[in-house]
Structure 1
């Protein structure tokens, strides 16, 4: 997914501290048991590893329903099948790494709407999530695959940890 400032009118730009409020607003309406975190990405690309890293951390925090972890990533090849395995009635929070403008690097875009995974690399996948969180892991440019391959792992790991910690705090699991 690529975020462009003009396309993000419904998405609210947040820093790490603002994520807690985002998750608290979801927790006001849905318990942790009613929510499935859909953490999209692969462990084969540093920039795209945000999803599986976040998913594994969410499991460590005690969230009961997480799809997309390091041992079992939810990537472009498995996304449709993994979505079909989520029980009906679950509220899906989709989380994905994305590329964006320089001013948004390291920020998050939260929304009460689905996200479209893999837009930045030109892959057509279905929009997913009742809520979504796009993490700007690097700057959008002419070679998105290369950019995701060379994104600093430290940045991705810090952002994944911030998301999981904010979710745990927002849902009262911390």
Structure 2
């Protein structure tokens, strides 16, 4: 997937999303060179974070694979990866589970994410950059935790992510986002 990017990860609340995306926008100002690969399914509340973000970004005019209408899940991911090769920059978006007290936070990374890691899905790493929305606390039954994540929280997290992308590339002020 193009040039190698040094990996670093930050855990942040919604206010850290804008600086993360602004740095990507500074490095890659042309929105047409960017693809958002939004991973997940609409059949699980927590795992719908990616497709919700994808749907919102698509409405803003971004190139997206993975929406509520056409999810990018384990069954379609390999085809999506082939299509993603046409883009200079791929930003992967997925839900994840985290440590106690971290639900509602985001893991932002300069480098790929590994989809399905909590459920040992064995999928390949994806993206030049990535955002993993922590939709619940990790536990012994990750599928159940994803299924029962708060829909309100997941929608709110998706909205914050899409708003941060819009703010980063279209110079909306942070005050508009707060």
Comparing 84-93 and 114-123, the one that deviates more: 84-93
The structural deviation recorded for 1:171 is 1.0
Give me the whole-angstrom Cα distance separating, in 2, the residues matched to 1:99 and 1:47.
Answer: 9
| Equivalent residue number for residue 54 of structure 2 | 55
Paired positions, count:
165
Give me the whole-angstrom Cα distance separating, in 2, the residues matched to 1:149 and 1:89.
Answer: 32
SS of corresponding position for 1:104:
coil
The structural deviation recorded for 1:41 is 0.2
Matched, 1:106 2:101: no
The structural deviation recorded for 1:10 is 2.9
The structural deviation recorded for 1:88 is 3.0
The 1:67/1:89 distance shift into structure 2, 3 A limit, reads closer
Q: TM-score, normalised by structure 2?
A: 0.89
Matched, 1:164 2:144: no
Give me the whole-angstrom Cα distance separating, in 2, the residues matched to 1:17 and 1:26.
Answer: 16
| Mapping of residues 17-96 of structure 1, within 5 Å | 17-30=15-28, 31-63=30-62, 65-96=63-94
| Equivalent residue number for residue 149 of structure 1 | 147
Give me the whole-angstrom Cα distance separating, in 2, the residues matched to 1:11 and 1:103.
Answer: 18
Q: TM-score, normalised by structure 1?
A: 0.91
1:126 aligned to which of 104, 112, 124: 124
SS of corresponding position for 1:28:
helix
> Is the Cα–Cα contact under 8 Å of residues 34 and 87 in structure 2 kept in the other structure?
no
Give me the whole-angstrom Cα distance separating, in 1, the residues matched to 2:163 and 2:61.
Answer: 11
- Runs of 4+ aligned residues of structure 1 deviating over 4 Å after TM superposition are none
Give me the whole-angstrom Cα distance separating, in 2, the residues matched to 1:153 and 1:173.
Answer: 29
Give me the whole-angstrom Cα distance separating, in 1, the residues matched to 2:87 and 2:161.
Answer: 24
| Equivalent residue number for residue 6 of structure 1 | none
> Is the Cα–Cα contact under 8 Å of residues 38 and 65 in structure 2 kept in the other structure?
yes
SS of corresponding position for 1:51:
helix
| Higher RCO (CA < 8 A, seq sep 6+) | 1
